[in-house]
Amino acid sequence: MGGTGRWRVGVSGVAGDWPRLVSDLVPRCSFPPPGSPIDCAVSGGPDSLALLVLAAAAGCVVTAVHVDHGLRPGSDAEAALVARAAAHVGARFVAETASVGAGPNLEARARAARFALLPPGAATGHTMDDQAETILLNLLRGSGADGLAGMEPGLRHPLLGLRRHETHAVCAALGLDPVRDPSNDDPAFLRNRVRHELLPLCADVAGRDPVPLLARQAGVLRDEVTLLNELAREAAPDPENARAVAALPVGASVEVEAWAYVPVR
């Protein structure tokens, strides 16, 4: 990891001696106002390191939280890398260790173990590319409008307006050497096949980059889901009134069940 000392944050949050690329990208993120505390989940990969950098450049009081699953040899060294990156941008660092035993659906169990240790509301480094992959995965699983609306932009996902190549560029601009997770190339994981096979095929068929299209469509669906939820609440304020719920149109009754019984993501 190159560079010396800490980067200076200006009074308005973004300024000082940050590279021009970083200052240009911060306005496209959804960080809280300068001076606000924010916990960032930082694995050491390029997206999460960029999250750490951009949150600091936005003037937030940043804590980088690293969770070691112990699934790869030498994974303990990744915590040290994140600690150095946090010090590099003037952020606090917290290390956690998760226990993930052998069994099926390793990716989902590791994710659940990670989020169990992260502070509530911790920000993640998901980009627009991750959003597109999530939407296609949900489509392949037969999801309804809620799933096709993707991840909710905001404090938990402040980088959804950025592309993956931009988070890589942020790391390069600060001389950070991200962790490379070999599991990201393993076709045994459905997300990797969507990333490396399905999205490139969609781009070839459409003759254009499908990622912004999917992200924009998710925004449209998200607005429609919000409106339908509001209408469903007005039509059936008591979700336990089975007769009232049954009298609603199918789409509205489904939304009542969704907001009444399913925990918010």
Half-sphere exposure of residue 173: CA atoms within 13 angstroms, side-chain side: 21
Is residue 97 within 8 Å of 21, Cβ to Cβ?
no
Structural domains in the chain, sorted by start: 20-127+162-177 (3.40.50.620), 190-261 (no CATH)
What are the per-10-residue average pLDDT scores of the chain (265 residues)? 47 62 96 97 96 97 88 76 94 86 65 80 97 97 91 96 98 93 86 96 98 96 86 68 65 54 44
Half-sphere exposure of residue 265: CA atoms within 13 angstroms, side-chain side: 12
The pLDDT of residue 182: 83
The pLDDT of residue 68: 82
Q: Is the model's pTM score more than 0.75? A: yes
The pLDDT of residue 240: 62
| Nearest alpha carbon to residue 52 among 119, 100, 116, 124 | 124
The pLDDT of residue 231: 76
- Please give the Cα distance from 260 to 265 (Å, whole number): 13
The pLDDT of residue 129: 98
The pLDDT of residue 177: 92
- Please give the Cα distance from 132 to 253 (Å, whole number): 28
Two structure tokens written together for 240: 């336990």
The pLDDT of residue 209: 98
Is residue 155 within 8 Å of 123, Cβ to Cβ?
yes
Amino acid sitting at position 75? S
* Full 3-state SS string of the chain: CCCCCCCCCCCCCCCCCCCHHHHHHHHHCCCCCCCCEEEEECCCCHHHHHHHHHHHHCCCEEEEEEEECCCCCCCHHHHHHHHHHHHHCCCEEEEEECCCCCCCCHHHHHHHHHHHHCCCCCECCCCHHHHHHHHHHHHHCCCCHHHHCCCCCCCCCCCCCCCHHHHHHHHHHCCCCCCCCHHHHCCCCHHHHHHHHHHHHHHHHHCCCHHHHHHHHHHHHHHHHHHHHHHHHHHCCCCCCHHHHHCCCHHHHHHHHHHHHCCCC
Tokens 């404090």: give the residue. Answer: 155
